[in-house]
Amino acid sequence: MSDRPRPDFSALRGQRVLITGGLGFIGSNLARRLVDLGAHVTLVDSLIPEYGGSLFNIAGLEGRVVVNISDVRDAHSLRYLVQGQDIVFNLAGQTSHMDSMQDPYTDLEINCRAQLSILEVCREYNPGLKIVFASTRQIYGKPDYLPVDEKHLLRPVDVNGINKMAGEWYHILYNNVYGLRACALRLTNTYGPRMRVKDARQTFLGLWIRRVVEEQPFEVWGGEQLRDFTYIDDAVEAFLLAAVDERANGQVFNLGGEPVISLQDLARLLVEVNGGGHYLTREFPADRKRIDIGDYYADFNRIRTTLNWVSKVGLREGLTSTLSFYREHLTYYV
């Protein structure tokens, strides 16, 4: 927790903002905050049924955001959508590691090729805008040392990690070569209201939350692995800081969270916060084991010192609000 003053986002009032993947978990939470701050927000999302987007994610925002259902692989739509925007939060992505192994070409098209084409239309039609890319800690692969800082070797262990790495570096390249103002946040496990809970496609924690709310046991695979978690409000704040601060341009930043925790301890904490529940511990399935990264937690000093970002919401508090959201709204997410 932090007692630092709230950052000043008044510069966002009246700004025209495009969020790709805006009907997804992080995009829709970001949209809510931006609308509150007085920005003019357009969401672009393909609503591909297997992914995390849903119109329920923007319930209550009707009439306050513009929604454009289109695919970031369609450069013609993007050419129109980026014009006149001040900021793009580029979050559209295929997020499943397993899906990227089973269907590598779709992951390549969305997480790599479409990223390049978004940057190309920005360069051609709106080179003055700022673009913040949602990257991932997955690009580090299995850590050589902990905590992992931004100088750690990039050695992805799955197709998704390779394509996200390329997507990230296209952004930095366009910043460095063409003067677009771009930066990337390497997110770790992000959780909170509107996260995917229907299955473990995006994160195991979503499925755990679903199961405890349904009063069903959940499974812990392994259990000793260490992880860090960022609550959604903290992640949203990092995106906003990266957007308004020119010192972010051309940079990549790790996000993280405290405390670092083993999956076994996280399972215990979830049951405790829920006031009951059960879990079973079992071996890692072989196909998951092959792409597992073992222990991971981030050194997030760079964003702390450059942009003054702090992780404010602790795990207990974050799990409490996430559970209370799904107790009320689970039917919309399963």
Ligand X SMILES: NC(=O)c1ccc[n+]([C@@H]2O[C@H](COP(=O)([O-])OP(=O)(O)OC[C@H]3O[C@@H](n4cnc5c(N)ncnc54)[C@H](O)[C@@H]3O)[C@@H](O)[C@H]2O)c1
Which residues here bind ligand X, judged by CB under 6 A?
21, 23-27, 45-48, 51-53, 71-73, 91-95, 110, 134, 136, 187, 189-190, 196, 202-203
Considering the complex, what minimum distance in angstroms separates the CB of residue 179 from ligand X? 24
Considering the complex, what minimum distance in angstroms separates the CB of residue 134 from ligand X? 3
Name the β-bridge partners of 17.
41, 87
Taking Cα atoms as reference points, which of 149, 145, 128, 129 lies closest to residue 137? Answer: 149
Instruction: Pick the closer one to ligand X by CB: 20 or 175.
Output: 20
Q: Cβ distance 251 to 241 under 8 Å?
A: no
Instruction: Pick the closer one to ligand X by CB: 4 or 92.
Output: 92
Instruction: Pick the closer one to ligand X by CB: 6 or 76.
Output: 76
DSSP 139: G
Taking Cα atoms as reference points, which of 220, 231, 229 lies closest to residue 277? Answer: 220
For 132-166, give one letter per residue: b (16+ CB within 10 A) or e.
bbbbbbbbbbebeeebbebebeeebbbbbbbbbbb
Considering the complex, what minimum distance in angstroms separates the CB of residue 67 from ligand X? 11
Contacts of 218 (CB under 8 A, 6+ apart): 207, 208, 211, 212, 267, 277, 278, 279, 280
Considering the complex, what minimum distance in angstroms separates the CB of residue 119 from ligand X? 15
Instruction: Pick the closer one to ligand X by CB: 12 or 184.
Output: 184
Tokens, residue 69: 């259902």
Considering the complex, what minimum distance in angstroms separates the CB of residue 185 from ligand X? 8
Question: Do β-strands 130-136 and 87-90 pair in parallel, antiparallel, or remain unpaired?
Answer: parallel
Taking Cα atoms as reference points, which of 127, 241, 117 lies closest to residue 170? Answer: 117
Instruction: Pick the closer one to ligand X by CB: 129 or 134.
Output: 134
HSE toward the beta carbon, residue 264, CA cutoff 13 A: 8
Distance between CA atoms of 229 and 98, rounded to whole angstroms? 21
Instruction: Pick the closer one to ligand X by CB: 21 or 277.
Output: 21
Considering the complex, what minimum distance in angstroms separates the CB of residue 239 from ligand X? 10
Instruction: Pick the closer one to ligand X by CB: 24 or 141.
Output: 24
Considering the complex, what minimum distance in angstroms separates the CB of residue 84 from ligand X? 19
Instruction: Pick the closer one to ligand X by CB: 24 or 156.
Output: 24
* Cis bond before residue 193 (omega within 30° of 0): no
Considering the complex, what minimum distance in angstroms separates the CB of residue 22 from ligand X? 7
Q: Which residue is nearest to ligand X (CB)?
A: 24
